[in-house]
């Protein structure tokens, strides 16, 4: 709550003084278009408390509110037009914005598509190809939901969780933070220390103490191919978000490259058109991953922070992630000042990106996989 007040205070002061504009142009960010990123779109977020990762959700009403706000200040562009302009190096004379959705949740088809059509706003959707058309949950949704059920049974104890996953030969890395585990921070910790294969073993271990039936979470399902084709026919740009939503910096380089190439082939086959856009799962990239995405033939890539790879600036286009409560002040009301902070990317000041975008991330992942291979040898 204190943090919310501080955040609102900062936003209000910036709004009053116009200092936000000065800070933003100092940072050079106004020269870049604003690309916003959303995940699941639902009718009412209150129905999903404890049943979904909150920062992945937005209600269709709040989405409309945020898009209206952006539309009054920015010109919306398609991802293709935006990418082409970045490639040409033409300056963005007018503030420009693009809208994206990651993961291909079914609500983007059901709720966002009609809204975008009504408002005349173009958008891009990043698809996890091997999940599309299946009634399975995303790996991180599954882990989060299992943790919500399992952690109370484990007394929220780190030691007991370590013991549980040890039964599936998973050893968890170091962890900082409070002793009592909560589902969200534990999920982040697992994502930071495990490959996707490791995460699947964690799921198996959690399933020995709790159960999550995928069909109980219809709003967390992803689209089928018919929906993807309908979106595409409606003018939505379809891009890749890998085959299985593997966090590419945590995988071997070979697997990262396969994820980029394989998902492009599938999308090209299914949609019969070139696939140019790629969103890094969880915004995680490092130089080796960006090179793999470039080699796969993508022209435009999107992260979740301001960090760029100077060899491939168009493969590391910054994005601003938004969700239901991004722009809600301490009194629970929509705040134009907070929205402005996100649009000018000032939020990076109080919540800087914690990803490792350097080379060492790759070597950490490969060291881990080497160590595991030695273990299994």
Q: Tell me which residues touch Zn ion (CB under 5 A).
A: 102-103, 281, 305, 307, 353, 355
> Do residues 345 and 24 lie in contact, with contact meaning Cβ atoms separated by under 8 Å?
yes
CB of 157 to Zn ion, least distance (A): 29
CA 199 from centre of chain: 18
Over its C-alpha atoms, the chain yields an Rg (Å, rounded) of 20
Handedness of CA 31, 33, 34, 36 (dihedral sign): negative
Between 74 and 302, name the residue whose CB sits nearer to Zn ion. 302
Between 160 and 307, name the residue whose CB sits nearer to Zn ion. 307
| Sequence-distant (≥ 6) Cβ neighbours of residue 120 within 8 angstroms | none
Q: ∠ CA(305), CA(306), CA(311), 5° rounding?
A: 115
The upper half-sphere exposure of residue 63, i.e. CA atoms within 13 Å in the direction of its Cβ, equals 30
Q: Helix axis angle, 139-153 relative to 183-193, nearest 10°?
A: 130
Bridge partners (DSSP) of residue 320 are 36
Token pair in block for residue 15: 């709004």
Between 102 and 232, name the residue whose CB sits nearer to Zn ion. 102
CB of 102 to Zn ion, least distance (A): 4
Closest CA to 279 of 287, 289, 288, 265: 289
Between 57 and 164, name the residue whose CB sits nearer to Zn ion. 57
Between 299 and 345, name the residue whose CB sits nearer to Zn ion. 345
CB of 171 to Zn ion, least distance (A): 26
Q: CA-CA distance, 31 to 317, in Å (whole number)?
A: 12
CB of 14 to Zn ion, least distance (A): 23
CB of 55 to Zn ion, least distance (A): 12
CB of 1 to Zn ion, least distance (A): 27
Q: Among all chains, which residue has been given the structure tokens 């989060």? A: 144
Between 102 and 148, name the residue whose CB sits nearer to Zn ion. 102
Q: Following DSSP, what letter does each residue of 247-276 receive, concatenated?
A: -GGGS-HHHHHHHHHHHHHHHHHHH-S---
Q: CA-CA distance, 350 to 336, in Å (whole number)?
A: 18
CB of 282 to Zn ion, least distance (A): 6
Between 26 and 351, name the residue whose CB sits nearer to Zn ion. 351
Between 164 and 222, name the residue whose CB sits nearer to Zn ion. 222
Q: CA-CA distance, 212 to 18, in Å (whole number)?
A: 49
CB of 88 to Zn ion, least distance (A): 26
């Amino acid at each position: 709550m204190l943090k919310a007040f501080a955040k609102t205070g900062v936003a209000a002061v910036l709004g009053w003084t116009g200092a936000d504009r000065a800070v933003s142009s100092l940072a050079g960010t106004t020269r870049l278009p604003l690309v916003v990123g959303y995940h699941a779109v639902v009718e009412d977020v209150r129905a999903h408390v404890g049943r979904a990762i909150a920062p992945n959700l937005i209600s269709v009403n709040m989405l409309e509110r945020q898009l209206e706000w952006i539309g009054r200040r920015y010109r919306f562009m398609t991802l293709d037009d935006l990418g082409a302009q970045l490639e040409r190096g033409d300056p963005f004379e007018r503030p420009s914005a693009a809208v994206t959705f990651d993961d291909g949740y079914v609500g983007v088809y059901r709720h966002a598509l009609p809204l975008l059509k009504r408002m005349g706003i173009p958008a891009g959707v990043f698809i996890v190809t091997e999940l599309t058309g299946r009634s399975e949950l995303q790996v991180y949704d599954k882990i989060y939901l299992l943790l919500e059920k399992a952690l109370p049974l484990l007394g929220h104890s780190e030691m007991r969780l370590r013991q549980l996953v040890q039964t599936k030969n998973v050893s968890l890395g170091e962890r900082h933070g409070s002793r009592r585990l909560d589902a969200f921070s534990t999920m982040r910790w697992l994502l930071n220390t495990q490959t996707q294969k490791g995460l699947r073993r964690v799921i198996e271990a959690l399933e020995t103490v709790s159960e999550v039936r995928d069909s109980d979470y219809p709003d967390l399902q992803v689209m089928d191919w018919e929906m993807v084709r309908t979106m595409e026919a409606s003018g939505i740009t379809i891009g890749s978000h890998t085959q299985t939503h593997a966090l590419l910096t945590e995988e071997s380089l070979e697997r990262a490259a396969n994820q980029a190439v394989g998902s492009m082939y599938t999308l090209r086959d299914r949609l019969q058109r070139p696939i140019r856009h790629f969103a890094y799962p969880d915004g995680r990239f490092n130089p080796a991953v960006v090179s793999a995405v470039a080699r796969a033939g993508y022209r435009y890539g999107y992260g979740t922070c301001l960090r760029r790879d100077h060899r491939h600036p168009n493969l590391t286009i910054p994005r601003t992630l938004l969700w239901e409560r991004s722009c809600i002040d301490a009194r629970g009301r929509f705040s134009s000042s907070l929205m402005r902070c996100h649009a000018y990317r000032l939020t990076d000041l109080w919540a800087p990106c914690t990803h490792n975008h350097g080379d060492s991330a790759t070597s950490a992942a490969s060291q881990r996989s080497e160590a595991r291979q030695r273990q299994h040898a």
